[in-house]
Amino acid sequence: MPYTAAPGLLNDRVIIITGAGSGIGSAVAKAYARHGATIVLLDKKISALEQVYDDIVAEGLPTPAIYPLDLKGATISDYDDLANSIDDNFGRLDGLVHCAASLGQIAPVLHQDPQVWLETLHINLTAPYLLTHACLALLHKQNDASIIFTTDAHKDKAYWSGYGVGKAGIESLSKQLADELEYDGRVRVNCIDPGTVKTSLHARAFPGINPINLPVPEDIVPTYLYLMGKDSLNVNGDLIKAQ
């Protein structure tokens, strides 16, 4: 979207970003840090998190925190521990951005592996729910907190399996939460469809497409900045296309 964020848009804010080790999550984390936020980098790949951490520190930006967590195996108490750790270390939470995703298996329903289907649905829908549930009370202490979910326009196409069903569920969860939290306006909830972006997930889903001319994650960052900052205080329950 055509939006230019003010330099200090996210000054003094603490924001969790899942899938922060690569792709869209990494690009959003760096952009938020450049606009003043302290980022809690969440991903299962420690080496990838360390690289994003180093990139942010090298720019002289607010020092981020690394929180390794495998969404596939995390328990309810793991998410509660994360929220408690943020409260103990930072005393606040202003935003939560869900960028982590697992493509799982692209196949006709008849040939899908049920176990892979369950795991993929869990990572793409149940895990974001559990993390959001654990963080809601902390987010609600702020006057203008923001939750951003990431969806995919391919969700209801043939063969998209647990990934597609998970993204359809994410859109419903986003709207449910937005409707529930609208009463006092302290936490707004929105969903972003990034469109076609040059990421490893896209490469797995469409191995025959030449990615050379595809938009890169940095190209869609303005939408994530807009929905996290003060310029979108009246935006709630929307699904916004980043392209």
Active-site residue set: 163
CA distance 64 to 35: 13
Left if phi > 0, otherwise alpha if psi is -120 to 50, otherwise beta: which for 12? left
Two tokens, residue 202: 């896209």
Structure letter (DSSP) for residue 40 = E
Question: Torsion angle, CA of 48/49/55/57, rounded to 10 degrees?
Answer: -160
Q: How many CA atoms lie within 13 A of 203 on its CB side?
A: 9
Two tokens, residue 34: 């450049």
CA distance 152 to 155: 6
